[in-house]
């Protein structure tokens, strides 16, 4: 007799098998859970500033695991710290604030700050980060899309572009130097031509695509034939985390001569005979289109018979080399002769009229403003400082003595004997010496 099962039992079995299959897809062969990347939040149209009453569309694109697709809630939306009621992949908004989205089991996306303006003129800039070599586009927009005449674009309060009427300002290949606070101004016919109106200032930052490279010595190649022996150098740089998939090419130079043109390899082997020539090398990193190119500082290989120190055989950063005093070469020029200031000595129990003032010779002029003083000059300046401090203290004490003499002269009575003050060598206080 055939065993009769209810159809719902078969449906439940198929559901369980489907869930187990989804779980197996989530866990790879290594036994570790899949690390989900944060979703990408986009804005349409791609402007972070809109007029009051307008709407924009936010879209959240991220990875949705099969197991999570069984649940009706796939996307979470946040306005600041407030959870929005919508769970769709895209939403329309018109409220200003900071928006984020999140797919189930994944981190929260990067934020988008939406601004709503009630001005006659607004400057619209891209919501996404702009990197070196990419186009930077800005739009100066009038209320209800009215035409803007005599249009000026400004960066850090300096005019950078003029248009007769409404037009976008475009930088074909942006640079880090293009960052700043932008603003636009113009006139509109409402119904007659108005006075010049200005938009609010908007901060624009051009991100660095990759750091300036540094040329490093990796080691010697000894296991090959004599014709292939040499020193391996590597052109090191680091891409921005959001652009880590950008391919870069590298070129190597010996002084001003190209030893290897742009190629995908970041390493170059200096032949053994050239290692002993004590020539300087440098490298260059660039994108495939050459829209962004950056070079490294110079690197000089050690001479023949010198041990290869991997820690020291690295091209230093230009700023670090300029600021570190220990990297400056020693000065062997003859130091200029400077006259030292005579020391000032206090004379105890001496009347005011008998105070001696030693002749102080003015010091000679120091080095020019743009030259670095030698260590000997620095040590001489350090020796003069205590004498100058002592002189200043004695002058201040003398000033106090003179003021007290004047006051005593005004207040002196016939019964009061004449008093004079002498300098006490040990303390700043004055002592009375009766005549």
Per-residue model confidence as pLDDT tens digits over 5-35: 555 554 555 555 555 544 444 444 444 444 5
Tell me: do 197 and 231 sit in the same domain.
Answer: no
pLDDT at 397: 77
CA distance 177 to 189: 35
Q: Bigger pLDDT: 49 or 403?
A: 49
Q: Bigger pLDDT: 223 or 127?
A: 127
Residue 385: pLDDT over 70: no
Residue 99: pLDDT over 50: yes
Residue in the structure block whose two tokens are 């984020």: 100
Tell me: do 57 and 149 sit in the same domain.
Answer: no
pLDDT at 324: 35
pLDDT at 401: 75
Specify if 59 maps to a domain.
yes
Specify if 2 maps to a domain.
no
Q: Which token pair is 32?
A: 């570790």
Specify if 3 maps to a domain.
no
Specify if 106 maps to a domain.
yes
Kindly state the average pLDDT of the residues 227-236.
84
C-alpha to C-alpha distances, 361 to 175, 221, 358, nearest whole angstrom: 56, 66, 9
Q: Which of 169-173, 214-218, 312-316, 341-345 is predicted with the least confidence, judged by mean pLDDT?
A: 341-345
Q: Which conformational region is residue 274 in: left (phi greater than 0), alpha (psi within -120 to 50 degrees), or beta?
A: alpha
Q: Going along 222-292, which residue ranges are E strands? A: 230-236, 248-254, 257-263, 267-271, 280-287
Dihedral (Cα; 146, 148, 154, 160), 10-degree rounding: 130
pLDDT at 226: 56
Q: Which of 11-25, 104-118, 259-273 is predicted with the least confidence, judged by mean pLDDT?
A: 11-25
Residue 373: pLDDT over 90: no
How many structural domains compose the chain? 4
Are 285 and 248 in contact, with CB atoms under 8 Å apart? yes
Tell me: do 314 and 389 sit in the same domain.
Answer: no
Tell me: do 85 and 160 sit in the same domain.
Answer: no
CA 379 to chain centre: 36
Tell me: do 146 and 242 sit in the same domain.
Answer: no
Q: Bigger pLDDT: 342 or 73?
A: 73
Residue 432: pLDDT over 80: no
Q: What string of DSSP letters covers 168-188?
A: -EEESS--GGG-EEEEEEEE-
Specify if 22 maps to a domain.
no
CATH of the domain at 92: 2.60.40.10
Q: How many CA atoms lie within 13 A of 329 on its CB side?
A: 3
pLDDT at 38: 87
Residue in the structure block whose two tokens are 């790879």: 28
Specify if 14 maps to a domain.
no
Specify if 179 maps to a domain.
yes
Q: Which token pair is 67?
A: 């197991």
pLDDT at 106: 85
Tell me: do 399 and 318 sit in the same domain.
Answer: no
Tell me: do 323 and 219 sit in the same domain.
Answer: yes
* Structural domain span for residue 58: 40-116
pLDDT band at 221 (very low <50, low <70, confident <90, very high): confident
Burial class (CB in 10 A: 0-12, 13-18, 19+), 385: exposed
Kindly state the average pLDDT of the residues 358-367.
41
Mean pLDDT over the full length of the chain: 74
Cross-strand bridge partners of residue 239: 210
Cis link prior to 312 (omega < 30° from 0)? Answer: no
List CB contacts of 215: < 8 A, sequence separation 6 or more. 233, 234, 235, 236, 281, 282, 283, 296, 297, 299, 314, 315
Tell me: do 221 and 298 sit in the same domain.
Answer: yes
- DSSP classification of residue 318: H
Tell me: do 94 and 111 sit in the same domain.
Answer: yes
Specify if 60 maps to a domain.
yes
pLDDT band at 346 (very low <50, low <70, confident <90, very high): very low
CA distance 339 to 336: 10
Q: Are strands 112-117 and 49-51 parallel, antiparallel or unpaired?
A: parallel
Q: Bigger pLDDT: 121 or 343?
A: 121
pLDDT at 15: 55
Are 94 and 64 in contact, with CB atoms under 8 Å apart? no
pLDDT at 406: 67
pLDDT at 390: 74
Residue 55: pLDDT over 90: yes
Are 336 and 367 in contact, with CB atoms under 8 Å apart? yes
Tell me: do 63 and 155 sit in the same domain.
Answer: no
Domain boundary among the residues 207, 241, 256 is at 207
Q: 42-51, 67-76, 268-277: which has the highest mean pLDDT? A: 42-51
Residue 250: pLDDT over 90: yes
Tell me: do 281 and 235 sit in the same domain.
Answer: yes
Per-residue pLDDT of 64-87, as tens digits, reads: 555 445 555 678 999 999 999 988
Domain boundary among the residues 142, 175, 207 is at 207
What is the model's pTM?
A: 0.59
Domain boundary among the residues 158, 177, 207 is at 207
List CB contacts of 40: < 8 A, sequence separation 6 or more. 60, 61, 62, 109
Residue 414: pLDDT over 80: no
Tell me: do 180 and 240 sit in the same domain.
Answer: no
Per-residue pLDDT of 116-158, as tens digits, reads: 999 999 999 998 899 999 999 999 999 989 999 999 999 999 9
Residue 300: pLDDT over 70: yes
Cis link prior to 178 (omega < 30° from 0)? Answer: no
pLDDT band at 411 (very low <50, low <70, confident <90, very high): low
pLDDT at 12: 56
């Amino acid at each position: 007799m055939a065993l009769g099962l209810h159809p719902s039992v078969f449906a439940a079995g198929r559901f369980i098998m489907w869930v187990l299959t989804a779980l197996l897809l989530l866990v790879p062969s290594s036994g570790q859970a899949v690390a989900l990347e944060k979703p990408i939040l986009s804005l349409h149209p791609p402007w972070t500033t809109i007029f009051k009453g307008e709407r924009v569309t936010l879209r959240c694109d991220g990875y949705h695991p099969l197991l999570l697709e069984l649940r009706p809630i796939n996307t979470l939306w946040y306005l600041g710290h407030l959870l929005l009621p919508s769970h769709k992949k895209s939403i329309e908004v018109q409220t200003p604030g900071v928006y984020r989205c999140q797919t189930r089991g994944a981190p929260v996306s990067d934020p988008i700050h939406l601004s709503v303006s009630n001005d006659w003129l607004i400057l619209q800039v891209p919501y996404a980060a702009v990197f070196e070599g990419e186009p930077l586009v800005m739009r100066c927009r009038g209320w209800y899309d009215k035409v803007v005449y005599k249009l000026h674009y400004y960066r850090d309060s300096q005019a950078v572009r003029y248009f007769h009427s409404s037009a976008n300002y475009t930088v074909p290949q942006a640079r880090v130097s293009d960052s700043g606070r932008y603003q636009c101004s113009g006139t509109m016919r409402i119904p007659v031509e108005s006075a010049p109106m200005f938009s609010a200032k908007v901060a624009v930052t051009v991100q660095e695509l990759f750091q300036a490279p540094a040329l490093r010595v990796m080691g010697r190649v000894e296991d090959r034939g004599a014709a292939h022996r040499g020193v391996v150098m590597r052109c090191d740089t680091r891409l921005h985390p959001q652009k880590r998939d950008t391919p870069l090419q590298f070129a190597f130079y010996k002084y001003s001569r190209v030893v290897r043109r742009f190629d995908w390899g970041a390493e170059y082997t200096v032949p053994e005979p050239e290692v002993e020539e004590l020539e300087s090398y440098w490298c260059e990193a660039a994108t495939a289109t050459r829209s962004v190119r950056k070079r490294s500082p110079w690197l000089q290989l050690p001479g023949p018979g010198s041990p290869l120190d991997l820690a020291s055989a690295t091209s230093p950063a230009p700023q670090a080399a300029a600021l570190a005093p220990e990297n400056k070469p020693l000065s062997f020029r003859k130091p200029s002769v400077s006259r030292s200031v005579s020391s000032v000595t206090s004379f105890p129990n001496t009347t005011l009229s008998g105070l001696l003032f030693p002749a102080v010779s003015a010091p000679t002029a120091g080095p020019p403003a743009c030259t670095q003083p030698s260590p000997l000059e620095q040590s001489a300046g350090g020796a003069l400082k205590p004498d100058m401090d002592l002189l200043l203290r004695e002058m201040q004490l003398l000033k106090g003595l003179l003021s007290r003499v004047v006051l005593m002269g005004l207040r002196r009575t016939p019964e009061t004997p004449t008093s004079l003050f002498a300098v006490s060598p040990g303390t700043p206080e004055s002592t009375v010496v009766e005549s």
